[in-house]
Amino acid sequence: MKVLNVIGTRPQYIKLFPVCRELAGNGYENVIVDTGQHYDETLSQVFLEELDIPGVDYDLDVRSGSHGEQTGRMLAEIEDIVEAESPEAVIVYGDTNSTLAAAIATAKLPPRLTHVESGTRSFNRSMPEELNRVMTDHISDVLYAPTERAVENLANEGITDGVVLTGDVMYDAIQWAREYVAESDDAGVLGDLPIEPGAFVLATVHRPRNTDDGERLRRILTVLDEHPLPVVFPAHPRVRKRITELGLDAELGADFHLIEPVGYLDFVRLLDGAQRVATDSGGAQKEAFMLETPCVTLREETEWDETVECGWNRLVGADPHLIREALSENDERPPRPDPFGDGRAAKRIVAALDDD
């Protein structure tokens, strides 16, 4: 059986890893399409190499553009690939423009359209990712839901056929990565920075809501810079450019470490070693939770309400008072539940493919 996987951004490389490994182990023919939505080598190729994912079969190199332009170029090329390869199933991941383009292309063709991470909702339709995930879910044949909440969200929208509760593939990946890092003699990025495990804040900011609005970005960075612990901020090239345009890099202190993007293993080292994570990334929220690192989310909403409800994640937006308060909370937390499964999501995904 031939399966075509479509990826294009950092989180999708991570989600692909356990699925790809499980497919290969069960004799499936894997075809991988990389749209090139993240085209910086550090954001793409490094992840493929670190996770030992087989070579990409199609590299579309679409790069940036408006949502419509980028999605349209992807759609046309993916449609041609699906027709040429004739897979039995196409797997799309998450909520990016790559996800939506592949979903639309496949929905009008014979292969089954299967969606990993179905049913997640922020309920904020101003977010492009929310529109992408909703539209993809409503045209998919098989919907792999990572949590019970995701299954409920789909049912509330009238989607019950083809829904499979699998757990979250990012939990599969991060369990592997944490064990790999623990057994490695290489300290990675932790050995390159003047920081101590448990005594720094990891920060990531990339969403247009926080970066396009210069005053909002300034508030976030200023409060982070005021924190008594060192801050490590791996910056996407677009965000780094924005910080420079606003002159914010010149205002940051010596303990604010604005660094280049890091690979997956180094990011896990930082997540696992941080005293707190401050982020607007949905993936980093989950990964922090999975590694039992308290999270401060620089958004007004989240796809992962489970992490907020159990006390391991706080929503603060760009409010300096709320950010400051959340960063200064004590480290005592209630017992952490396991809403994301048991680290065997990829096995359930492949089993569901076999059942169809």
SS (H, E, C) 206-245: CCHHHHCCHHHHHHHHHHHHHCCCCEEEECCHHHHHHHHH
The verdict on whether 321 is a catalytic residue reads: no
CB 259 within 8 A of CB 266: no
Q: CA-to-CA distance for 187 and 189, rounded, in angstroms?
A: 6
Write the CA distances from 219 to 165, 295, 319, integer angstroms: 39, 18, 8
Alpha-carbon distances, residue 232 vs 93, 188, 271, 305 (angstroms): 28, 14, 10, 26
Which listed residue (38, 115, 206, 227) is catalytic?
Answer: 206
- The single-letter code of the amino acid at 289 is F
Report angle CA 239, 244, 250 to the nearest 5 degrees: 125
The rounded distance, in Å, linking the Cα atoms of 121 and 136 is: 12
Residues catalogued as catalytic: 206
